[in-house]
Structure formats: C-alpha cells, structure tokens
Amino acid sequence: MQLIACPWCGEREEIEFHYGGQAHIAYPDDPYALDDEQWAQYVFFRDNPKGPFAERWVHSAGCRRWFNALRDTVTHEFLSVHDNRAERPSRTGTAPAAQHAEGQEAGR
Amino acid sequence: MNTPFRAPGHGRVDRDTTLSFTFDGTAYTGHPGDTLASALLANGVHHVADSIRYGRPRGVLAAGAEEPNALVQIEAPFPEPMLTATTVELYDGLVARGLSGRGRLSGEPDTARYDTMHAHCDLLVVGAGPAGLATTLAAARAGVRVILVDELPQPGGSLLGSQERIDGAPATRWVGTVLAELDDCADVRVLQRTTAFGHYDDGLVLALEKRTDHLGAAAPAHVSRQRIWRIRAQQVVYATGAHERPVAFDNNDRPGIMLAGSARTYLNRFGVLPGRQAVVFTTNDSAYPAALELAGAGTRIAAVIDAREEVPEHWRTACAERGIGIRAGHVVTGTSGIERVTRAHVAPFRQGRLGGRQGIGCDLLLVSGGWNPAVALFSQARGTLRYDGGIGAFVPAHAPDGVRTAGSAGGAFTLSGALADGVDAARQALSALGRTGGTIAVPTTAPLPDGAPTRVLWRVPSPQDGHDGQDGSKQFVDLQRDATVSDVLRATGAGLRSVEHVKRYTTIGTAHDQGRTSGVMASGIVAESLGVDVADLGPTRFRPPAVPVAFAALAGRNRGELFDPVRVTALHPWHVEHGALFEDVGQWKRPWYYPRAGETTDEAVLRECRAARTGVAMMDGSTLGKINVRGPDAGILLDRLYTNLMSTLKVGRIRYGVMCGVDGMVIDDGTVIRVAEEEFLLTTTTGNAAGILEWMEEWLQTEWPGLRVHLTSVTEHWVTIPLVGPRSRDVLALAAPGLDVGNDAFPFMSWQDTTVAGVPARVCRISFSGELAYEINVPAWYGITVWKALHTAGSAFGITPYGTETMHVLRAEKAYPIVGQDTDGTVTPQDLGMSWAVSKKKPDFVGKRSFTRAENRREDRKQLVALLPADEQVLLPEGAQIIATSSIPEPPVPMLGHVTSSYRSDALRRTFALALVRSGTRRIGETLYVPLDGRTVPVTVTDPVLFDKEGTRRDG
C-alpha cells in the first residue's frame, strides 16, 4: 500500500486516489480544425514511458482535488506532486517519451 | 503419565502443570510452554505424518516455522487445517492429527472474531532474539516510537534454545532485564506471538498476532482470536535470525532425522531429548554445541561425522572430554530404519569420492549443513542478496531506504556478533531518523574459540546415482513436496536453467514453509548440475505472505454484513415490512418487487406493471444520483458536458440530458432541473453517481478551472418518490391540496415547490414509464411520512408499490435505455435513436467531435431496436447473441448483436426484448434468430418503442 502525498492533504494511502492518466494533455482549442487522425491522437493515444511520467491523480476519497504527479513507472515512486495549475516539471524532459509528449502538446 | 524423553533440569516448560492432549487418537500429556511437536517428542513420538506423494513416514525436522514435515490438523476445540506442530502451542484438550500434505477446511462456521489494528512507529523491529532486543533497547533509550514483533510466546529467540551467557549470567536473565526496561518505555510496544509476514511499499509491514490460539477452549469469546497489524514504520530492522539447512543424502527423510540446532532447542527450551543415541552429521562448527549439550543431558553421541578435514582444536578437545568420537572428512551417505531411523551409513568423502561404508546405530540423526539468513522479508522489501561462499548462503547485499537487517539475518551468526550488529542497526536507524542518543554498550559474551569455515555441501553423492533409487532410496530436497534430487536433475536435464523454472517444475519451495530448508539447497544442486556458480543463479523470489495466514484473519471484521458497505434509503424499513425482495444496485439495496402471498416473480411484476399502466403505483427512487450545480457559470459547464443545451432551460423547467465521453459514447443520462438562475440539480443513474461527480470535477478542475461553479453530491439529502399511472394526479391532489395538479398549471417537464402531506416538497413532472407521473422529492428525514401519506391517499385507487423490475419493464416498453445495461461504452446517442437529445446549435460539447469520426458514422453500427419473439411466451436471455440464419452455421458464427434487456410485458401481453443489432434501424421488419437451448428462436426486429409511441398517456 503506497503512500501518495496529496498536495492538499499530505500523505494518504493509495486506495484513496484514482488515476487520471497522462498529464498535460489539454483539450484541443478547436477540435473541428483537426482531422480524424489528429483528433484520435487526442482521444485515444497516450505515452507509455519507462521511467518518469507526468500523470494526473485525484484524491477521490479525500479532498476530491485533481493534481499532477511525476511518477517513475518502473519503481512506482512518486518523484514529486504538483498543483495541477503548475507548469509541467522540467524533469520529464529527461525521458525520451516525455519529450514526445511535449511535441504533441506543442502541435495541438 | 509417562513422558520418557523429558530431560531433568532442562527446559523452560512449567512442569508443575500438566496438559492433556490427543494426537492421532492417542492421549498424551505435556506442559505449558510446550509446542505440540515438543510434547510429542517428549512422549517419544517422532512419526507425525506420512508424506504426500510416496506415503513415507515423516517426523519432526525443525523446531520452528521452517518445519517442512510435521503438518497437523487441529480437530478440537476449533477445527483448523495445515498448521506445523512446531508452532502450535500446547493447551489442555488439544485434539490433533498428522496430515499428509493436505488439510481439510472445516464445514463449521468459524465463530471466532478477527480484527485489524493500524499502528505507526519510527522503528519496527522484527524478531526478539539477541540482535532484535539490542536494537530495540538502544532505540527505546533514544526515545523513538518502537514496535517489536516476535513470533514466539516469549522474547529471547535463539537464546531460549541455547545455554549461552550474556554479561556473565544465563542469557535469559539479560532478556528479562531488557524486557523490564522496555516495559517502562511508554513509546515501546512489544507484540509476542506476532509474525511479520509481508513487507509492502513505503514501510508498511503486515503482521499476524495470534492472541488466543494458545488458550484452546479457554479463549475468551470477546477477545479476537487473531489480529492483523498494519504497521507503517519509518525504519524497519529485520532481526529475523537464520534457518539451519540440512544436507541431502539417501533416505534423509526418516523420523528421527533432525536439524542439529533444533535438537538443541528441544533440549534447552522444552527440556526434551529427541533421542537416546545420536549420530551428528555436520559441515560446520554449529553442530558441536548441540552434540555436547545433548551429551550433557544424557543422549549418547555415537559419533560426530564432520564433512571437513579440519575440525577446530577446541571442539576436538571438548568432544574428547565427553568421549565423543569425531570422524573428519566423512559424510552420512544414507540411513536405515522403518518408522524411525535406526542406523546412519557413514563413509569417508575425499576428492569427491566416497570410501567404504560403515553403519552406526542410532535413533537420532542430527544434521547441519550450515545456516541460511532468514531474508524473506528483507527480500520482499526489495533488499538485494548476494551469495556468501564462506557460509554457503545468500546474505543481504543492498538494503533499500529505511530497511536493514541485524544479527544472523545479516550473516552475523555468533552471539557477540549479533548483539553488536543489533546495536549498530539501531544507531543507523536513529541516524536515518535524525535522532541522536540511544547508544548502549554491547553486552559481553564469552570469548569465542577459533572456528573453521563451513564446508559447503548440498548433497552427498549417492551409491544410487545414475540408478535413480532402484533400491527405493531417495534423496529429498523438499520434504513437504516429496521432491528429490532426481526431480531437480530431471528438471535441469529437461533444459531448465532458472531456479524459478526448476521451482515450478519440481514444486520445491511451494509448500507452507516456502522452502526455508530446501530453497537454497535446491539452488546449490541446480548450480552443481549445470556447472555454474550458485552466486549467479540466486535464490527464488520471496513473496508475501512469508507464513500461511488464514483468510479469516485477513478479512477481519469485513465479513458477512460488514463485507461491503450497504446503503439503504430512508424508506427501507417500510419496504422490509411490506415483504419487498431486494436487488443490489452498487452498494444500494433497492426493492426489486413486492410479492404477495403465493405469487411468483412473474405474477408480481405483471401485477405491478398493470397497476402503473391502469391505476396508480409508487416506487422508491431515492437512490438516483443527485448533484447540485451552483454558480454563475453553472449553465456553461452543463452545456459543455451534456449533449443538449442546458443553459437555455428556464427556472421551473426540466430537461432530459445525455452525457458522452470524449469518444462520443454515452456515459450517463438523467434529468436536469433549473432550480434558480445560478443553480441546477441533475440526476444520474443510481450506480453512476460517484463516477459522474468525479467526471464533472475532472473537467471543472483540470480543463476549465476558470468556471465559477461548485458541485455537491446531494443524493442522500432527498427521498424521491415517483408516483405513476393514470390515477397519480388524483392521489397527488389528495396529498397536496394546495397544488394545482392540472396539465396547464403543472405541465410535463416542469417542477414546483409545494407542500405534500404537510412537508415542503419539490414535485417534478417526469415520467420514466410513459404514464402520467409525478416525482415527489422531500428532505430525507420526512421521507417515510410522505411515503405513508401517499400510500394512504392512494389506497382508494388501489395504489401499488413497485420495485426495480417493474420500473425496468415499463421503461423498456418505451425504449428508455438504461446506461450500462443497454449501453456498454461503445454506444453513441445516435445508436440509441436519441439524435433528438443532441444539440445542433452548440459549437462544441464533450463528445461532439467524435460523432463525426468515420467509425461513428458507419451505417452498420449496432443500433438499439426491439425484438419480438415469434413465440410470444419465449423470454430471451439478456446477453443472448443474434444471428441471421435459422440454423447455426459453422464457427466462427457471424454475430449481429446481442439482447440487452428482455421482459414479459403486461401491456403488450407478450415477451419482448431490446437489443443492439448491427444496422438495426435498417433491419426493422426483418426476422433474425437467437440461439437458445440448442435451437434458434425467430424474432422480428421492430422500432424500439413498443408502447404508446405517440406519447398520449403522459398527460393522463
């Protein structure tokens, strides 16, 4: 039973949280400017890196707040947690897959 | 009663008290402090059970949790299977029998209580032997919060089974002094009879405390029998000791063959002599104290067979003084005996070759092949191991943060070494905690004579090698699994190279004891067989639980009614009183239907349906999810999440709405009422309330945090009562005399705040049946009053309470879908025939862009239709597949879709079904087939709305 540090509540057991997938995937500004394939990229495709990964979590059985976290997908270790309004932490830049995500976001 | 093998002047059992017990039908006696195994040995009983595969007699090999052989089933006072005799504390009235590998669960319900405790500490110490006690004492003096767990009934660990001295006195005196000091520390908790069995993330350790097992029938009912401790520790020190390992030789499984250290424990802790005449077979120094102590207590040591050429001078002298002969450079090659070992076969073993054999008579053969640090928990904690060739064992290498070992668990096998290591582990843990102090002087012990290294010997070559035991002799590796050296060689011969694969091929290490005495030996034999270094092979992976744990203990109090939270509405007692049967919807208990005496399910549901369509009926709709949406931007949020336009809804009006995921698939539906300019109240499917709230919060917080909206779950604030049927207006008029219930004053899809049965109420004109209907919402506290008042007001009209089954039939007749039943996450609003609920005006909403994806515009998508079986009495099973032909073709059979809902209809006087069918809309009028019970049922595809398609009934 891992401990996850909610930015608002502090450390709580993982069963209080739900996973929200990759972070920093914004809803496209104009979905209708995208062709089907570009739209499908937003709807269906996510990165799956080995190593640090920027993710969304929600403290659903606690404060109900969404937040972002940087987690190592190999060790499951939470490297850091962030208010979801904060900028993406630069450490993701070390993982090739995360760089890909950056490119994807820039391209939307 | 005669217990012939009790050694006078030895042991810590209470000889002033006698306990009676029965084993395999024979009555025996023992004393408090005994285990079942020690009491049996005191009575001269070595043969405990027969082995699982070969039916060979088996005895007691060890003295603790590592025991592979002596499995027993307890029959009384409470039945329990698969315990090791070496860990069952003796109590009066114990009835047990030996087990051949497999236990039997009791058919009786277990009436004992089990519970769970949560605890937090700075330092958790596992094991109260010399190292663990030294760690705990040092940490306690630094003032940190310490929990010490230990599997034995009393602290001391290996000291209980030795004659060692600390600070010039018997070691147990030191143990007593330490315990007395720990007792005085408010922040130290010592848990005996508590076995740590799992190390999980972030310092979570699970331990099982056996609180009353040792009391037998005298166990007080109000005390839980076993307790799971969930201990969250900043720092963990595993002072878990070491397990002695045997050596494989021919017929190394007979009763009377025992680990040397265990024999020492039986003598010193229990005052039991495991035999009269012993041969001691060793590869290391640790068997010598066993031989000498047993000799001192009256066992004749026929010989010490030492596989090493060089035996330390100290032990040679001590043995000579006792008249014990040592045969260096010799091994035991096999044994004789039937129920019990009677002879050890001994031969010189030099340069890998066996010399001439000689038999030595004995009733006890002690074996020591060296010691394996007990690293299971350390390894679970992701500590890495390395092979130490000096002791022939895997020892801790790299410790993860916050975890370390102390004492023989880390390879410090001497008492002085263990004590010093324990103090050092405390110092490191305190340093990691940022605490100072807590240094204690390492207790003094007698200086150790020079020792000699262990000779690493996994197995003795067999005269049968290459003949595979044609004379019936076998070399056992895992006694519990009856797995032999031949089995290991067969595995490597078959090409297996990994110990994990060999483990699964041979089942070695998969029994209750997790291979404590066999695992490393198996790795060694695999390495020899493959000609590789055992260091490169490693041990097999350690996984929790380290010891068997009963499911009852893990479940604790979460069983029966407390297994999962049960949610009931404020009206629940009324439903129970009126004979409702209940359906589980998520955690909710919902009335399913209300059968009258003698009625079948079908009859009851048809009667309830008839009442709703022809008279008046009422149901408990309180479980509908309700979310209050409040704020200046509430309408904007709803516009973005619903497929239809909500911001234009006028205060006082209601709109049906559908929500989709970004993929355009329906995720929920419900009604939205506009309470005020900046306030809406929406309903969700019963089982989806929490999920939809989370979904809305997700968008609000992560995508549109600028929207000024707050979401509040108000599901349980309201009791919701649908009042349904042509006479519902009459009933409401009686119960709410101040309300104009006419169509003009109170039109469909509007709501009014009024008073019903004297209670402030919000009444909505919503219909989930197509009938004239009102939905009466009152604060939950008043629910039962209003329900009863409506029931009374309706009695003149034959008002009928109905449950979820009738609700489903009524809505299906109108083709109102149930999200999650008629949809499965692959269904768009268009597939449901609900294009009318999808706004064309809104520039965007969640899901809209996906509607135009090529895949979602295909004409051959599965669409919602109704199916009418040609035989009006045939009820199609929900989930049934639909095919195009009357005979079932060869597989793969082309499937056109499946039945999502299927009922008997009173209004239609026949059965009907809803189904998702490929190109369903285009197939209306076609005949399709449903395979059922070896035949196919012809069905006609129709428009999904089967009843009152024109909607003439909703206004009464």
We report the CATH number of the domain holding residue A76 as: 3.30.2270.10
Considering only CB atoms, B202 lies closest to which of A2, A34, A65, namely: A2
Residue numbers of the domain that contains B492: 476-532
- Whether B691 and B730 map to the same domain: the answer is no
Name chain A contacts of B703, Cβ cutoff 8 Å: 26-27
Contact B849 A32 (CB under 8 A): yes
- Whether B691 and B706 map to the same domain: the answer is yes
Q: Which two tokens stand for residue B17?
A: 């008290």
Look up tokens 């023989």; give the residue.
B408
Question: Residue A79: inside a domain, yes or no?
Answer: yes
Give the H/E segment covering residue B179.
helix B171-183
Name chain A contacts of B201, Cβ cutoff 8 Å: 1-3, 76
Considering only CB atoms, A43 lies closest to which of B201, B662, B701, namely: B662
Q: Which two tokens stand for residue B575?
A: 């439903």
- Whether B119 and B232 map to the same domain: the answer is yes
Contact B662 A42 (CB under 8 A): yes
- Closest by alpha carbon to B246, among B469, B84, B69, B459? B459
Look up tokens 């599997």; give the residue.
B151
Banded pLDDT at A93 (limits 50, 70, 90): very low
Name chain A contacts of B844, Cβ cutoff 8 Å: 31-32
- Whether B63 and B122 map to the same domain: the answer is no
Mutate to test the interface with A, among B205, B849, B855, B857 (most CBs of A within 10 A): B849
Question: Residue B547: inside a domain, yes or no?
Answer: no
Give the pLDDT score at B883. Answer: 97
Give the pLDDT score at B109. Answer: 85
DSSP tag of A33: G
The amino acid that residue A84 corresponds to is: N
Question: Residue B674: inside a domain, yes or no?
Answer: yes
- Whether B707 and B796 map to the same domain: the answer is no
Which residues is B210 bridged to in the sheet? Answer: B226
Give the pLDDT score at B111. Answer: 87
Alpha helices in B241-361 (DSSP H): 260-270, 287-297, 313-322
Q: Which two tokens stand for residue B818?
A: 């149930």
- Whether B709 and B753 map to the same domain: the answer is no
Question: Residue B593: inside a domain, yes or no?
Answer: yes
Give the pLDDT score at B776. Answer: 98
Look up tokens 């109590």; give the residue.
B91
Give the H/E segment covering residue A21.
strand A18-22
Give the pLDDT score at B468. Answer: 56
Name chain B contacts of A42, Cβ cutoff 8 Å: 662
B669 and B686 Cβ atoms separated by less than 8 Å? no
Question: Residue A36: inside a domain, yes or no?
Answer: no
Question: Residue A38: inside a domain, yes or no?
Answer: no
**Shortest distance, CA A37 to any CA of chain B (angstroms):** 9
Contact A85 B201 (CB under 8 A): no
Look up tokens 């999980």; give the residue.
B200
Residues of A with CB under 8 A from a CB of B: 1-3, 18, 20, 26-27, 31-32, 34, 36, 39-40, 42-44, 56, 58, 60, 64-66, 76, 84-85
Contact A84 B701 (CB under 8 A): yes
- Given B328, B353, B368, the domain boundary residue is B368
How many folded domains does chain A comprise?
Answer: 1
Which residues is B857 bridged to in the sheet? Answer: none
Which residues is B354 bridged to in the sheet? Answer: B349
φ/ψ (deg, to 5) at B416: -65, -40
- Closest by alpha carbon to B291, among B258, B251, B260, B253? B260
Residue B53 makes CB contacts below 8 A (sequence gap 6+) with B481, B482
Residue B695 makes CB contacts below 8 A (sequence gap 6+) with B641, B659, B667
Q: How many helices (H) and strands (E) does chain B have?
A: 21, 50
Tell me the C-alpha distance between A57 and A68, whole Å.
6
CATH number of residue B756's parent domain? 3.30.1360.120
**Shortest distance, CA B403 to any CA of chain A (angstroms):** 16
Tell me the C-alpha distance between B691 and B685, whole Å.
10
- Whether B660 and B778 map to the same domain: the answer is no
Contact B703 A34 (CB under 8 A): no
Inter-axis angle of helices B634-641 and B689-698, to 10 degrees? 110
Name chain A contacts of B694, Cβ cutoff 8 Å: 18, 58, 60, 64
Question: Residue B885: inside a domain, yes or no?
Answer: yes
- Whether B743 and B607 map to the same domain: the answer is yes
- Whether B745 and B615 map to the same domain: the answer is yes
- Whether B102 and B221 map to the same domain: the answer is no
The amino acid that residue B354 corresponds to is: L
Neighbours of B131 (CB within 10 A): 35
Would you say residue A88 has pLDDT above 80? no
How many folded domains does chain B comprise?
Answer: 6
Tell me the C-alpha distance between B865 and B675, whole Å.
35
B338 and B361 Cβ atoms separated by less than 8 Å? no
Name chain A contacts of B662, Cβ cutoff 8 Å: 27, 42-43
Contact B201 A84 (CB under 8 A): no
Max CA pair span of chain A: 44
pLDDT in tens, B274-333: 999 999 999 999 999 999 999 999 999 999 999 999 999 999 999 999 999 999 999 999
- Closest by alpha carbon to B13, among B265, B364, B290, B295? B265
Q: Which two tokens stand for residue B490?
A: 């067969």
Contact B705 A76 (CB under 8 A): no
CATH number of residue B526's parent domain? 1.10.10
pLDDT in tens, B705-747: 999 999 999 999 999 999 999 999 999 999 999 999 999 999 9
Residue numbers of the domain that contains A66: 3-27+49-106
User: Which three-class secondary structure state does DSSP give residue B216?
Assistant: helix
CA dihedral B605, B611, B613, B615 (to 10 degrees): 180
**Shortest distance, CA A107 to any CA of chain B (angstroms):** 18
Question: Residue B11: inside a domain, yes or no?
Answer: no
Interior angle at CA B796, CA B790 and CA B800, nearest 5:
60
- Given B313, B346, B368, the domain boundary residue is B368
Contact B202 A65 (CB under 8 A): no
Question: Residue B102: inside a domain, yes or no?
Answer: yes
Neighbours of B355 (CB within 10 A): 14
Cβ–Cβ contact B663 with A under 8 A:
yes
- Whether B257 and B363 map to the same domain: the answer is yes
CA dihedral B427, B429, B434, B436 (to 10 degrees): -20
Alpha helices in B712-772 (DSSP H): 728-735
Q: B544 burial class (0-12, 13-18, 19+ CB within 10 angstroms)? A: middle
Tell me the C-alpha distance between B258 and B273, whole Å.
12
B259 and B280 Cβ atoms separated by less than 8 Å? no
Would you say residue A92 has pLDDT above 60? no
Give per-residue burial for A24-53: e unless 16+ CB within 10 Å, then b: bbebbeebeebeeeebebbbeeebebebbb
Alpha-carbon torsion (B480, B369, B249, B351), positive or negative:
positive
Question: Residue B156: inside a domain, yes or no?
Answer: yes
Would you say residue A89 has pLDDT above 90? no
User: Which residue of chain A comes nearest to B700, CA vs CA?
Assistant: A66
Give the pLDDT score at A91. Answer: 52
Tell me the C-alpha distance between B291 and B257, whole Å.
14
Q: Which two tokens stand for residue B136?
A: 């705990």
Q: Which two tokens stand for residue B488?
A: 């290991």
Residue segments in chain B with a per-residue pLDDT below the cut of 50: 1
Cβ–Cβ contact B202 with A under 8 A:
yes
**Shortest distance, CA A2 to any CA of chain B (angstroms):** 5
Question: Residue A78: inside a domain, yes or no?
Answer: yes
Contact A36 B854 (CB under 8 A): yes
Name chain B contacts of A44, Cβ cutoff 8 Å: 663
- Whether B691 and B642 map to the same domain: the answer is yes
B130 and B167 Cβ atoms separated by less than 8 Å? no
Name chain A contacts of B854, Cβ cutoff 8 Å: 36
Tell me the C-alpha distance between A70 and B284, whole Å.
51
Tell me the C-alpha distance between B290 and B324, whole Å.
12
